[in-house]
Structures are given as structure tokens and as C-alpha cells.
Amino acid sequence: MPDSYDAAYREWQADPTGYWEAPAAALAWDQRWDRVFDPASGPCGRWFVGGRLNVTYNCLDRHVEAGHGDRVALIWDSAMVGEVRHYTYAALRDRVARVAGALAARGIGVGDRVIIYMPMVPEAVIAMLACARLGAVHSVVFGGFAPPELAARLADAKPKAMIFASCGLEPGRVVAYQPLVEAAFALSPHQPQFCLVFQRPTLPAPLREGRDVDYVEAEAAAAPHPCVPVAATDPLYILYTSGTTGKPKGVVRDCGGYAVALHHSMGMIYGVGAGDVYWCASDVGWVVGHSYIVYGPLLAGCTSVMYEGKPVGTPDAGAFWRVIAQHRPRVLFTAPTAIRAIKQQDPEGAHMQRHDLSSLEALYVAGERCDPPTAVWAAETLGVPVVDHWWQTETGWPVTAGFRGFGLTPPKPGAGGRASPGYDVRALDDNGKPLPRGESGNLAIRLPLPPGFAPTLWQNDDGFRAAYLADFPGWYRTGDAGMVDDDGDVWIMGRTDDIINTAGHRLSTGAMEEVLAAHRDVAECAVIGVRDALKGQVPLGLVVLKAGVNRPAEEVVAELVALVRERIGPVASFKDARVVARLPKTRSGKILRGSIRRIADGEDAPVPATIEDPAALEEMRALLG
């Protein structure tokens, strides 16, 4: 690996395809590729054409055969049941091989799809790796998703099997999964041939005769199955993007390019390698969980922490710090909303002082832009760099980041970091013309796209072209707005539809949110554009105050309006803010700005399947409707 970020990026620019041969050579291949990249395959090219490998072999068996079977591969820490389990690489390989055997005995093989509908339990990871061991294609659906969303995925992926848990655990409630599964089956035109059901002791599920098989019993009775080599261009998984209407978009991830990109990213971006403990506080239902709970850490030989719990409330705002003190990760990767929740409950960082956090060397955040006040607070209270990095379900790994493998490019609060080797990121005007540095526009990535990037949508090449490639020929349209500064750092200010047009002025809601978040009493906030007969749109701020703030809401609002006027100017037309108890969010922590905007505009706003707490959206209807 080059000794600096600039050297690595220049090396990639000099040879955009050849650059990836060295990272690829670090993995085990059953057959070397014929071509590193074939630009004529699919909508935007395919990587490592002609190569064959098995991703699970590279995640598990490769390390065991190298003599590292006793190294801990996975630590499961459940705040919900008060239990911690450690799985060595050898033990995890053995369980995965047996579950693969159980699936194979029931007819699952290369190319078959398997839906996985599970909470944050080790059996979810084992199921994913068991599918990959066979060359089957898994599609993880976030545990607890509503039946219509699950049914849409069943209809599109047409799985031969489904693996689901009897229940999920949330603070103060148990979510029974089987009724949701049955309702989805009733809505779907496609039915799986059989189901493996993982019974959680908290709430077991009745098994349907002739269809359902106990997960643990099937595993115990099965013979271990070897790894099945597949083409590097074969699909590893399908991950559906969230949506409330229309046909779901099934983002496809291939085997070879994804394994190469993730393995490379662990050292380059996060600065961790074999034997290091790494914690990604996400969920396996999201792309972040796929990439950095399961595949990335295991490809690199790390110990991956899998946490079932919340940043606050399980039991308090010190939950994350307890996990760090107990398991000693070098890096924590989480969402900005988790840090804001902790900051709201514990603004002085008192819980941090009660734990030994000396193992932690960096905090990485992604999922939405991290506002500068939150980034600065975390950096100052933790005493480690806070690195925001930007990526999407489609990209599979970070587009921009700070690079600890090169000594860490300097973080800038509010920025998403610099482009990873493999990505040429520019801001384009609405005609697709690159803008000068420092000017905001449509963020786009120049083709070809790097290994690990989604090569297409499931059985929908035309849909991929229409959704991502048609607007700006030669570029991938990210749907995000922002700019690239003079240092090459990328600033993401929100989705392009979050750029509001007020009396002819294009204004960033992200910039306004940054100002609101800087107020001493604000824990988190959102700014949306509301329709206005005179100006087209005007901004509306929604703020959650920090715990213990007892000032009158009108007083805080007046200060916020004055602050935006001072820092952005009268052009922002920011005259209205509301203090709210909470903001409606997805389960991954993203604020449902689109739903809030539709409510404020008097439009129909269905409850998204991804919502964390439907009551929060109903409160917003009462406030704004």
C-alpha cells in the first residue's frame, strides 16, 4: 500500500483498473480473473471477469487454515437479554458450514435466493455466510419490517427459502415476527418452499407443519458443507432500498469486486487489520451492517462486535461506552443520530468518565451528514478524531472518508472527507457540467465505478440506467447535493430534493440545520422546505432541546431565527421554528424529512416501513397537519 493518501489517489488515477490488482491478490481465488474490468458488461461494467472465489472461504476458512482458528471472529453483546458470546473463527466456520449443509440438504444451491428476516443475533450473520458458502444469494430484510414491504421483496426476489426469527427485542417491547411473516405470505404471489425458524426464548413461534423447520435442530442434524466457488461477477446479495410505493429497487452486490473493495477499505480507511477489534454499531439489515459488521471485518481477520441494543435507554446514555470498555475496539462506527441522542441525554459526557475508553482511537460516523457541533462535541469529550464519511446502499463502501491507513487525512467538522481511490467525485450543474471547486451542485461520480459498487439492480438493468446514469451521461447521479472544496474534501448538504428554492434563491437546508445545531440548547434538528404561495418554499425548523433545558420555547425559537439571520442572512427567509419532543426517524436513525415535508404541505404521508416509532410521525401530523 502507498505511504500516503495523495500517493494512493495518484496511483489510482494513473491506472484506474490496474490499481485494483494488488488488493485483489491479497484474497484467495480459486481461479484468477481474465480481465480486471470489462466496461461492456452490464449497465456500467463488471470487475474481475473470469475470476472465481468464495466469499465465506475468504471470511472464515482462509483464516482458520492459516492457523488463526482460535482468534475471536465475532462478539455478540446483547443489552436486550444481558448476554455476551464470543465466537472464534473456527467455531463460526463450523456453525456456518452446518447451516449451509442444512440449506443444501433442502435444495439450496448456486443462484438460489434466500430471504433473511432476523434481529441482531449471531444466527443472522451465520445465515448470511451460510448462503454465501453455497453461492446462494441472500437478501436481508430488516427484522420487523411491515408485511407489505416484506411481501414486495418476496415477490421480486422469488426466494426458494426464508430464514426468520421468532421475535425481535426493543426497549420495553417484544416484536413477534411470525404474524408479520404470515401476513407477508398472504400478500405475496411468491411463496418460499421452506422456512428455517430461529426460536428466541423470549417468544417462540408455532411452526407450520410441512413448511417450517427449527433453525437450531436443522443445524445440529446437518453435515458440514464445503465452500462452493462462484464467478466473481455472480451476485452475493440483494439489498432493497426503502420506499413506500412502487416496485422496490433491489441493489445487487457481486462477489469478487465487493470482497476486494471491503478488504482493502478496512486497512486504508479505518486503519485496522487482523486481530484488531472493530465495532460497527449498525444493524445487519442495512448496507452498513452487511459491509462492516459481517463481510469487511471478517475478510480482514478482525474481531467484529455485534451489538443488540440502543445508544440510550439500554439502560442509559452510557451503553456505548460500556461496550467499548468491555470489548476494547480500536474504532467505533455509528450514525450521527446515535451521538446526538447520547449528547442530548448526557451533554457533559459524565457517562464517558465512568468507563475506560483508552482502546478507542477514532469515531467514524455515516448515514447522514454529521452537523459540526455534534462532531466537535464528540471529538472533545472522547478525545479522538471524529471522521464523517459518505456512502450509500448502492456504493457498498465509502465514497469519501478520512484514511487512518495513511495517518488520517485531517477531519473537518461538517465535511465528508476526501474521495476514496476509485471515486472521482464532482459537483455538476443541472446540465451535467462540472462546477469549479467551492461551488455547490449535484454530486456525481465519474464512470467507471469501482469494485464493490452495485453493478445493477436485481433483474433490472434498464431501471439501474434510468435511476442513476441517464441524467448525467458518463456520471453516476448520487442524488445528493454539495460541493468539493479546494483541499478536495466533499461537503454533503443533503439530498437534492432538500435544496429549497426561496424566491429564486437555492438554499441548503443542511446549512440551516448546521446553524440551529450550534445553539447551546439544541440536541438535534431538521429543516424542511414548506410550500409558500409567494416565495415557492420557505424553511421550517424543528428542534429537540437538550435534556434539562426548561426555558420557554418562544425564547429559544426567537434566538434560532436571529441566529440563522446572522449566519446565513435574510435571504434564508427563516422565520419559523417549532420545539418538538422528538423527530420521526427510520430504524437506521435517518430523520424522515420527506415525510415531515409532505405533512407540512398537506399531502398524504404514509407511515414508512422503515420508521422507528410511528407515534413520532403522528405527533408531527398533529403539530403540522
**Segment 369-425, tens digit of pLDDT:** 888 999 999 999 999 999 999 999 999 999 999 999 999 988 999 999 999 999 999
DSSP alpha helix (H) spans, 66-211: 89-105, 122-134, 147-157, 178-187
Q: 505 - beta bridge partners?
A: 502
CB neighbourhood size of 178 (10 A) = 20
Over the range 512-544, which residues count as b (16 or more CB within 10 Å of their CB) and which as e?
bbbbbbbbebbbbbbbbbbeeeeeebbbbbbbb
Q: What per-residue confidence (pLDDT) applies to 148?
A: 83
- Taking each continuous run of H as one helix and of E as one strand, the counts in the chain are 20, 31
Q: What per-residue confidence (pLDDT) applies to 614?
A: 87
Measured distance CA(112)–CA(206) in Å, rounded:
26
Q: What per-residue confidence (pLDDT) applies to 505?
A: 66
C-alpha cell at 446: 465519474
Q: What per-residue confidence (pLDDT) applies to 598?
A: 87
Domains in the chain: ranges and CATH? 5-309+389-482 (3.40.50.12780), 497-624 (3.30.300.30)
Residues 6+ away with beta carbon under 8 Å from 55: 132, 236, 255, 258, 259, 295, 299
Q: Which residues of the chain have pLDDT under 50?
A: 243-246
Q: What per-residue confidence (pLDDT) applies to 525?
A: 94
DSSP state of 443: E
Residues 6+ away with beta carbon under 8 Å from 234: 110, 111, 135, 254, 255
Q: What per-residue confidence (pLDDT) applies to 500?
A: 79
Q: Note the pTM of the prediction, 2 decimals.
A: 0.89
Q: Are 303 and 74 in contact (CB under 8 A)?
A: yes
Beta strands in 302-374 (DSSP E): 303-308, 331-334, 362-365
Residue type, 281: A
Kindly report, residue by residue over 595-625, the tens digit of the pLDDT: 898 899 888 878 877 788 888 899 999 998 7
Q: 387 - beta bridge partners?
A: 364
